């Protein structure tokens, strides 16, 4: 069955105290909205992002990164139900399923969304909402079920009785809709409430009145629907995501010597028997092979591919680089916009100077197999060091180096005998 998604991303995010739209704040160099869209992309064939505040910035992000996603403007913002209705004209003749979710929930996974859809189908639902269990459900809408376990309604805390407040099953804010049967709800919602808004939760009552099958899927891990409304929430989501990533890596055979001081993005793949030492920070999308040693205090900034048996030393920064097998990058080095071959040795303090501040362009460095680079060397890109060449310590490379040659830019050493004694006398 065809599946599309509507992602709500029009909110102002007042509590973020930021000029950046809330959904464009980042965790590990990836936006909150990006996490949500990546989770639905393996399931859906088309997505709609509802934009409002800072609409142009969000639209630009969507257009640049997601070819199968369109932005839809909600102006003015009249509630979540109104937001979904903005996409209705583009779904006029659509007869598949529609996922509705929020753009500020970066922890939701594709696996959970697939289970949610499978539940919807197996339950023969017309409308399925996602719920979860909280020991302390304060401030969440409570799920009220019928004797047959179908959903009767959602009661917001301010309207709940004491008995209803004791219910721990709450609305997670994600919906799966049989669009053909549910679409009319969005033209019939009312705004008879204190805020004068059209609430998405009202489609539950609408569905029951129209004899639709309404069910709830219970999410086991309630962290997945953790929403971001403040910088405090952003920091907490970062912790949740880090714990999830490190746990998965360790269960798959990666050694994390100190999980409390290690940060690795969920878009990083790491092979078995690789060791990640403390205070290492890895963001963005990366692939690290087997039997590698990374850190301590290493920083991988994204778009890094590292083959097997590679060592990235203390205080090394790597960005947009490919490093082949059995290569060592010594401490205090920077490798950016580069390709390193196999059996390469990079001495401590080596820099690939990839950025021209005048033209504001970045160029590439190529080091072929078996190249040896002495400590404190600088390779000024674009430059190629051919196979087997050696660079002496302190060398500044500004042109290509032939294979199996030695390159030096070193002034002759001068020794002044008894100079110190003369100064002290």
- Positions annotated as catalytic residues are 331
DSSP-assigned letters across all residues of 234-257: HHHHHHHHHHHHHHHHHHTT-EES
Largest CA distance in the chain: 103
Side-chain half-sphere exposure of 191, counting CA atoms within 13 A: 11
Under 8 Å between Cβ of 226 and 20: no
What phi-psi label fits residue 302: left (phi over 0), alpha (psi between -120 and 50 degrees) or beta? left
Helices then strands, counting H and E runs in the chain, come out as: 9, 35
What is the torsional sign of CA 156, 157, 158, 164? positive
Is the omega angle on the peptide bond into residue 76 within 30 degrees of 0, that is, cis? yes
For residue 183, which of 154, 203, 197 has the smallest C-alpha distance?
A: 203
Residue 385 Cα to chain centre, angstroms: 35
3 state DSSP class of 401 = strand
For residue 4, which of 86, 92, 94, 77 has the smallest C-alpha distance?
A: 94
């Amino acid at each position: 069955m065809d599946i599309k998604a509507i992602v709500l991303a029009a909110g102002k995010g007042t509590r973020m105290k930021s000029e950046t739209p809330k959904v464009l704040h980042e965790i590990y160099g990836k936006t909150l909205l990006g996490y949500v869209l990546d989770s639905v992309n393996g399931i859906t064939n088309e997505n709609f992002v509802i934009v409002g505040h800072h609409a142009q910035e969000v639209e630009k992000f969507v257009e640049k990164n997601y070819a199968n996603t369109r932005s839809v403007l909600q102006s003015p913002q009249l509630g979540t139900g109104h937001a979904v209705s903005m996409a209705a004209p583009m779904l006029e003749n659509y007869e598949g399923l529609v996922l509705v979710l929020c753009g500020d929930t970066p922890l939701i996974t594709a696996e959970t969304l697939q289970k949610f859809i499978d539940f919807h189908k197996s339950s023969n639902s017309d409308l399925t909402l996602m719920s979860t269990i909280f020991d302390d459900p304060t401030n969440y809408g409570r799920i009220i079920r019928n004797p047959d376990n179908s959903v009767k309604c959602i009661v917001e805390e301010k309207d709940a009785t004491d008995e209803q407040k004791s219910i721990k099953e709450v609305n997670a804010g994600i919906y799966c809709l049989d669009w053909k049967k549910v679409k009319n709800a969005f033209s019939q919602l009312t705004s008879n409430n204190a805020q004068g808004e059209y609430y998405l939760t009202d489609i539950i009552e609408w569905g029951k009145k129209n004899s639709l099958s309404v069910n709830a899927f219970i999410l086991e891990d309630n962290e997945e629907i953790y929403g971001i409304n403040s910088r405090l929430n952003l920091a907490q989501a970062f912790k949740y995501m880090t714990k999830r990533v490190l746990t998965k890596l360790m269960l798959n055979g990666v050694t994390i010597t100190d999980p409390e001081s290690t940060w690795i993005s969920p878009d990083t793949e790491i092979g078995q028997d690789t060791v990640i030492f403390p205070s290492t920070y890895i963001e963005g999308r990366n692939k690290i092979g087997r039997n590698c040693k990374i850190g301590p205090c290493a920083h991988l900034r994204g778009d890094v591919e590292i083959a097997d048996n590679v060592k990235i030393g203390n205080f090394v920064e790597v960005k947009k680089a490919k490093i082949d097998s059995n290569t060592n990058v010594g401490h205090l080095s920077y490798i950016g916009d580069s390709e390193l071959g196999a059996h390469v040795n990079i001495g401590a303090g080596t820099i690939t100077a990839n950025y021209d501040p005048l033209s504001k362009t970045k160029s590439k460095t190529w080091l072929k197999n078996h190249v040896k680079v002495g400590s404190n060397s600088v390779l000024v890109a674009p430059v190629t060091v051919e196979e087997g060449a050696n660079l002496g310590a302190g060398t500044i490379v500004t042109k290509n180096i032939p294979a199996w040659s030695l390159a030096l830019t070193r002034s002759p050493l001068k020794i002044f005998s008894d100079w110190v004694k003369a100064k002290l006398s």
